[in-house]
Amino acid sequence: MHCCPAISLDPVLWLSMTKFERGRCIRWCLGWLPGSRYKTCPQYHGQPFTKAYTIHCLEMHRRIMWPQTISDPLSLLLNMVPTRKHRFLNVTLLWSIRWPAICRILYELDYSISR
């Protein structure tokens, strides 16, 4: 089973965004959390800061408005980023809500753990 229906350039690499946003998206997709060594949660000291814990701690399901049954909603959304401009207004509106939420979550992750 293939992860993508066709071979193409990932939209995260060419969509209009700052280099910081692009870097955060790429690091999340690769599973790289900020910092190069073992970290603990800045809010709950002693709690290991893993990808699964990050999803819970930053309340990603609630903020992205997706069900709890999806284990990694942020990766799923990043894999669903449109590869072309849509003619349909509902798709454009949906991403105009989701994209700022994605950027905000990645920003908080970057700055909460790197302090």
pLDDT tens for each residue of the chain, 115 residues long: 445 555 555 555 556 678 888 888 888 877 777 665 667 777 777 788 788 888 988 899 999 888 999 999 988 888 887 766 667 777 777 878 888 888 898 888 887 655 5
Residue 38: the pLDDT is 66
Domain interval for residue 59 = 17-113
Residue type, 98: R
In a domain, 3, yes or no: no
In a domain, 10, yes or no: no
Number of domains in the chain: 1
Residue 14: the pLDDT is 52
Residue 62: the pLDDT is 92
In a domain, 50, yes or no: yes
Residue 2: the pLDDT is 43
CA distance 108 to 91: 26
Side-chain-side CA neighbours of 53 within 13 Å: the count stands at: 14
Q: Residue 108: how many CB atoms within 10 A of its CB?
A: 14
